[in-house]
Amino acid sequence: MYDCAYDIREGPKVYNRALYKIYRNFPLMGHIAFGVIERGSNVIQVRPSTLCFHNCIFCSVDAGPGSKHRRAEYVVYDVEWLAKWAGEVARAKGGDVEALIDGVGEPLTNPRIIELVKLLKQEKGIKRVAIETHGGSLSVELGKRLYEAGLDRINLSIDAVDPELARRMAGASWYNVESVIQTVRKLVEETKLDIVLTPVIVPGLNDKELPRIINLARELKLGVRSGWPTGVLAQKYEEHKYGRRPPGVKPWGWGKFYAYLKDLEAKTGYKLIPSPAELGFSQAPRIDKPYRKGDKVTLMVASEGWLKNEMLGVDPECSRVFSIVGVRAPIGSKVRVKVIEDENNIYIARPE
């Protein structure tokens, strides 16, 4: 017996993939692609959309028009429901939490993103709200409205300052990094919003661009308003099973990556390896897991799965959503499954 009536609706196809709109009572913890994720720190990830209009050639989650692995996309339209989940998680972790709006796509594709920021900031237990974006649709007007709604920081993924290289890395001929940088300048000048640059360093492609990115952050005093010692948080390119792999690129190991950052620190005098404490990040209590690896449970099939050969399943209490792999079953049917992954309250299961 199911104790709740969840609401998930199929909309028009996007990029020839099914689009599902998520509303109240659908569980917003358990999936990597949408909802709320906590990983034992005072930062929770709030994921309102899987959609993306960029097509980055290094994308670890194969987002955007060129995806070869995705079967469905999801948008949480009921942002009140999403904010409620985030608030409950924040309070369970003891409060003083940062809500980072990010995703396996571009968070700004959620049509109610401004309302989401406002609602998150109103939730008791959430102290700061930040958003991660590649910036393709970020305008001065949108940035100001997000700031007025309560946004504290933008983590902006500028991967190159060179316009042609930036377009190539974004996989989009329309992407204009010069316009994005101009937007950053105006937002810094006209609001108290902080912006931090978060490039992904892809060896042989943009590793020579980081000094230019540092110069931009230094010039605009990025990160200062957050009390951080840096305005650049460089990320290491990783190969993932379902991610994109630029031809001829071999990922660096962590040792080589940190040596690269330390060398640039010495040459530029700019901090690139801050400690979590310097960024205000710390450990915080974890949320209890209602299910563990090896558990068996009966799930209701709710929709097509995010990736091929998957379905979404909901538990009887509507407390968690599961990825059910290796199954094709009618939506609305029940499937008995065995949990095969439970890390960070993200659940993957197989038919028993």
* DSSP string computed for 157-180: ----SSHHHHHHHHT-TT--HHHH
Q: Domain check: are 238 and 340 in the same one? A: no
Q: pLDDT tens across 162-196, in order?
A: 999 999 999 999 999 999 999 999 999 999 999 99
Range of the domain at 131: 8-279
Last residue of some domain: 246, 279, 312?
279
Q: Domain check: are 162 and 131 in the same one? A: yes
Q: Domain check: are 102 and 232 in the same one? A: yes
How confident is the chain (352 residues) per 10-residue block, as mean pLDDT? 77 94 96 97 98 94 93 97 98 96 96 98 97 96 98 97 97 96 97 97 96 97 95 95 92 97 97 96 96 96 93 94 94 95 97 92
Q: Domain check: are 80 and 146 in the same one? A: yes
User: How many other CB atoms are found less than 10 A from the CB of residue 52?
Assistant: 27
Position 179 in a domain: yes
Which one-letter DSSP state was computed for residue 229?
A: S
Q: Domain check: are 268 and 330 in the same one? A: no
Q: Can you give the CATH number for the domain in which 246 is found?
A: 3.20.20.70
- Kindly give the interhelix angle for 177-190 and 163-170, rounded to the nearest 10 degrees: 100
Q: Domain check: are 340 and 244 in the same one? A: no
Q: pLDDT tens across 329-349, in order?
A: 999 999 999 999 999 999 999
Write out the two tokens for 212: 């230019």
Q: Domain check: are 254 and 320 in the same one? A: no
Domain count, the chain: 2
Q: pLDDT tens across 259-299, in order?
A: 999 999 999 999 999 999 999 999 999 999 999 999 999 99
Position 1 in a domain: no
Position 176 in a domain: yes
Residue 182 phi/psi, 5° resolution? Answer: -65, -35
Q: Domain check: are 303 and 242 in the same one? A: no
Position 210 in a domain: yes
Is the entire prediction scored with pTM above 0.85? yes
CA separation for the pair 50, 34 (Å, rounded): 7
